[in-house]
A and B are shown apart, each in its own frame.
Chain A
Amino acid sequence: MMSFDTFVAVASGGLALGAIYALMAAGLAAVWTTLGIFNFAHGAFIALGAYIGWQIADAEAAGLGLAAGVVGAFVGLFVIGILFHLALVRPFERRPDIVTACVITTLAGAAICESAINLIWGPRSKQLGQLARGEVDLGVFRLPVSDLVLIAVVGATLGTLGWFLSRTRTGRAMRAVSQNREAAELMGLDVPRLYALAFGLSAAIAGLAGIFVGGLRFMTPTMGTDPLMKALIVVILGGIARFTSPIYAAILVGFVESFSNYYVGLYWTPAVLFAMMIVVLFLKPSGLFGHHQRTL
């Protein structure tokens, strides 16, 4: 039996992981639902976000502090995401085989990003600082402050994204275009601009996630691969019927991973997660929280 303190630590670690996966899955889903393609470079965007954040934040580099790093990673990846879209996705947009074409181009893009990281920052692994130090004492148990900050930042980001999608003109247009491209063109929407924007936003959110991943683990050029896999599991588990459905699934995956690491062991965790995914696919092919209809 695990002690209560351990239980709380494992649970809060799970929640923090879940929050990161939620960010990743939201970004992945944003591109999948609007453009109808799967972006295999999403993991590389995470790595780029972490390295750009490190470059801005770390004392060995610019030393401007982690908050500046967060902003830099977000803005930097937004720009990179848009350029990536213009170069590697837009040219294939109207081809009937766009899905396969973009499997190849986004995989190539991922390789380019990872090589670029290697060239610029070298292969030696780095680490980003924690978002905050210490623990808060909640009387019954203690929680690491960094987990709380992470959960708060992710909550605020997803909340802002939700607000943007439902309350702003551009956000509504993005939701609309994700439902039906031709209807969007009929209604006079600038579809290419909205697609570029969706890609940029998705990358920016990945950049933010990268900062968090870089605070949890050592940074390497391929550090995004594992979180990308988890985000994929999240998207499949949760379905993308609503903007919120991957969020619940992400928290679930975070918890399962955290508890499985503790009970079953680190090396068995991916197997546990995939087993869970396969069971869900059997019982409810459209995901736990709804159907595979494309909509933001």
Chain B
Amino acid sequence: MPPISSPPLGAILAVSGVTKSFGALRAVDNVSFAMAPGEILGIAGPNGSGKSTLFNAITRIPFDMDAGIVVFEGRQVQNLPAHRLAALGLARTFQRETVFPSLSAVDNVIVAIEQTKRGGSLRRNVLLAEQALDIVGFPATLHNWRAAALPVFLRKLVMIAGAIALDPKVLLLDEPASSLTPDEIDRLRALIRQLREMGLAILLIEHVLELLTGVSDRLMVLDQGRVIALGEPAQVVRDPQVVEAYLGVAP
């Protein structure tokens, strides 16, 4: 057994026994972990190891898990509908940049804000939306551009701004760095650190290992739907099982 580090005391998010199968394939197999408030927990694993499926199962977007318990702030939430989870403070992004293509950048975020208790008059919502876009470093001159017309990186920022606008306590980021340039990855790293400064706990799936180990407090590795390592990033990347999962050979 790999060393499963004990769940931090007073975990903000604790997941236990999450399982999701597609037909005969166990995409996520009995996954358990917990994260402390303000922690960044990285998730690595080869292609198809079940990382995105884990996010999908936890947030119930777009499907439910087969079995498992999700405790958010001490309360079981695995049966709450997706929008209630979002309202409680569990927000996510997708691997592909997922936005409302015909709406402007700022309208994208306004739609999110209108769902929250913070929402109010349209003017106030515009202000809050602009704040969220500022936080993620979206250029102010492009606020009124249709999302469809924006480059990938900016669409990702709009998506992250929409999630942040919900004022979450835990943010699930699914491969935010995929298809970004090294320069953009640097900006993303700064953004992730800034979000942590703001007090968010972040669950971060990433293939760019160097980004992942750079910002994560702890690192979890999935292989074929199972947790094969969880702990200190520097230790985890040297774990023989992890090396084997990534390189396909025993060390």
A-side interface residues toward B, CB under 8 Å? Answer: 94, 169, 172-173, 175-176, 179-192, 293, 295
Contact = CB atoms under 8 A, between A and B. Distances in A.
Contacts of A186: 61, 86, 91-94, 98, 159, 162-163
Nearest to B96: A182
Contacts of A190: 81, 83, 115
A190 B85 CA distance: 11
A169 B94 CA distance: 24
B87 interface: yes
A183 B115 contact: no
A94 B93 CA distance: 20
Interface stretch (B33-41, B99-107, B136-144, B181-189): B99-107
B112 interface: yes
Interface residues of B, number: 33
Contacts of B81: 190, 192
Interface string B58-96: 010111000000000000000001110011000111100
B116 interface: yes
B114 interface: yes
Given A187-B162, A188-B116, A190-B81, A182 B94 contact: yes
Nearest to B167: A188
Given A180-B99, A182-B98, 7 more contacts: A169-B119, A179-B100, A179-B102, A186-B86, A188-B115, A189-B83, A190-B83
Interface string B212-246: 00000000000000000000000000000000000
Contacts of A180: 98-101
Contacts of B150: none
Contacts of A175: 100, 102-103
A236 to B, nearest CB: 21
B166 A94 contact: no
B135 interface: no
Contacts of B107: 172
Nearest to A194: B83
Contacts of B101: 179-180, 293, 295
Nearest to A181: B62
A187 B163 CA distance: 6
A188 B94 contact: no
B152 interface: no
24 contacts: A94-B63, A175-B102, A176-B100, A176-B103, A180-B100, A180-B101, A181-B62, A182-B61, A184-B100, A184-B111, A185-B61, A185-B82, A186-B92, A186-B93, A187-B111, A187-B166, A188-B112, A188-B115, A189-B83, A190-B115, A191-B83, A293-B101, A295-B101, A295-B102
B182 to A, nearest CB: 27
Contacts of A187: 86, 108, 111-112, 115, 162-163, 165-166
A170 to B, nearest CB: 9
A192 to B, nearest CB: 7
B250 to A, nearest CB: 38
Interface string B96-132: 0011111100011011101110010000000000000
A169 B111 CA distance: 8
Contact of A189 (B59, B92, B115): B115
